[in-house]
Amino acid sequence: MVTFPAVIDSGSEAKLCASLLKPNESLVMNIHLVHGNQSTLLLQEKAEEEFHRCFNFKAPLVEAESVQNIKVELHGKAFKMTEERKVMFKPLTFIHPLTFIQTDKPIYNPGQT
């Protein structure tokens, strides 16, 4: 089982947790972040017994909302499984938006409009 947030802020530290319960054989778990034809390995874990592990990964920087996939591959000698789930990365937004005012003169004297 793998858990992660459905929506992650661009460039932030995101948490992903992976659990493996009662494996019957030695298994390898690979977790990838997939976007188009690019794949980034987030975790590779070899296990012969139960484990639960959480780790942080840096979310990619995006300028617009980006839906990507987290792909989990689990395989051993007799067992193979692949699952993909969507995750949305949202661009950073300013907490305090700035307003820029441009005047027609560089300097105003008192009383001028």
| Inter-CA distances, 87 with 19, 28, 82, Å | 19, 23, 16
pLDDT value for 23: 86
* Domains delineated in the chain: 2-90 (2.60.40.2950)
Q: What is the pLDDT of residues 64-86, one digit of tens each?
A: 899 999 999 999 999 999 999 99
- Residue 6 corresponds to which tokens in the numbers above? 């459905």
Specify the pTM: 0.73
